[in-house]
Amino acid sequence: MDLFLAIATNPLVWITVVLLFTLKQGVLFVPQNRGYVIYTLGKYSGTLSAGLNIIIPFVQKVAADRNLKEQSLEIGSQSAITKDNITLQIDGILFMKVTDAGAATNNITDYKLAVTQLAMTTMRNAIGSMELDECFQNRDVINSNILTSMTEATQPWGVQVTRYEIRDITPPQSIREDMEKQMTAEREKRSVILTAEGVKTAAITEAEGAKQAQVLEAEAAKAERVLSAEALKESQILEATGRAEAIRLVADADAAALKTIGAQASTLEGKQAVQLNLAQRAIQAHEAIANEGSVILTDGNTGNNISSTVAQAIAVSTSLKLSEI
């Protein structure tokens, strides 16, 4: 008890405690991606970055501790009216980060609330400048417009909006029903168009096939005619060649026969044989004339001629027989 009283009444102990407390207040360790906003006698004097920092105790103090990391803020569902007076329910998500902790503290009371309200307002303005179909088809355009507008508006607050995305667009029930009917009609239309195109393609293919078949048939007929003509020509050539060869052979035979007859006719026996042959032919001719008609016109010497011819034929025949003996 006496020791405690001695320590408590010792001024050095109190001075040491005050010095330690003051030292603790004056030394700050700032974490990574944090920003400490420092006020000096109530006035903004700077922002402490990550690491070891020293301030003047009781004169300077940390007014705000700002998170410098990128943060996401949900934009709750809200009503927006399109250019063609359709009420939509829209929600989204926003990504932002503090780039200037001092501006985020000094220039705006609650930068998160301000950014959220600004995003909702900007989204309604963007939807109001577009029709319903454009809202569904051009989400990227809406996101880009909102991002551009918010980037300009939040720059004085030391806040940078890095991205904005619309999560859902919900039209009224009646509009959804009309859209479903429109989609059904569009699908049926596409089905009819595809069917018609299929029939058209089939007809074109069939016509092309028939045309190709006719072309091939014509080419085949032409080829057949050419082959027939070639075959006929070849046949005629062969026939003509055969006839020419037959004529040549007959002529050769006749020439050989005439040559033989001529050689034999130069002899005495040959002359007598010729006379006999001529006499026989003359007799045959007179017989034929007699058989063909009942009236025979002669020059009056016919009988003598016949008798003479017969006599010559008998004489020649007798001579030939004698020569053979």
CA angle 197, 200, 203 (to 5 degrees): 150
Architecture of the CATH domain 71-171:
2-Layer Sandwich (3.30)
Q: Which residue has the higher pLDDT, 116 or 268?
A: 116
Integer Cα distance of 158 and 107 in angstroms: 8
Answer whether residue 42 shows pLDDT above 70: yes
Confidence at 119, pLDDT banded by 50, 70, 90: very high
3-class DSSP state for residue 65?
A: strand
pTM: 0.52
Contact 115, 93 (CB under 8 A): no
Tokens for 315?
């004489």
Q: Among 18, 22, 19, which residue's Cα sits nearest to residue 57?
A: 22
Number of CB atoms found within 10 A of residue 61's CB: 16
pLDDT of residue 246: 83
Answer whether residue 245 shows pLDDT above 90: no
Answer whether residue 101 shows pLDDT above 90: yes
Q: Which residue has the higher pLDDT, 1 or 219?
A: 219
Integer Cα distance of 149 and 118 in angstroms: 9
Looking at the chain, the whole-number percentage of residues with pLDDT higher than 90 is 22
Average pLDDT, stretch 235-239? 83
Integer Cα distance of 61 and 56 in angstroms: 8
pLDDT of residue 7: 62
Contact 47, 38 (CB under 8 A): yes
Looking at the chain, the whole-number percentage of residues with pLDDT higher than 70 is 77
Q: Among 28, 74, 69, 72, which residue's Cα sits nearest to residue 51?
A: 28
pLDDT of residue 27: 85
Answer whether residue 311 shows pLDDT above 90: no
Q: Among 58, 22, 55, 23, which residue's Cα sits nearest to residue 36?
A: 55
Helical (H) or strand (E) element with 49 = none
Contact 80, 123 (CB under 8 A): yes
pLDDT of residue 260: 75
Express each pLDDT in 162-192 by its tens digit. 999 998 888 888 877 877 788 888 888 888 8
Express each pLDDT in 1-16 by its tens digit. 555 666 666 677 667 7
Answer whether residue 99 shows pLDDT above 70: yes
pLDDT of residue 170: 87
Contact 91, 62 (CB under 8 A): no
User: DSSP strand E in the chain: where?
Assistant: 27-30, 34-40, 43-48, 51-54, 60-67, 71-81, 87-98, 159-170
Answer whether residue 70 shows pLDDT above 60: yes
Mean of pLDDT over the chain: 80
Q: What phi and psi values does residue 107 have, to the nearest 5 degrees?
A: -95, -10
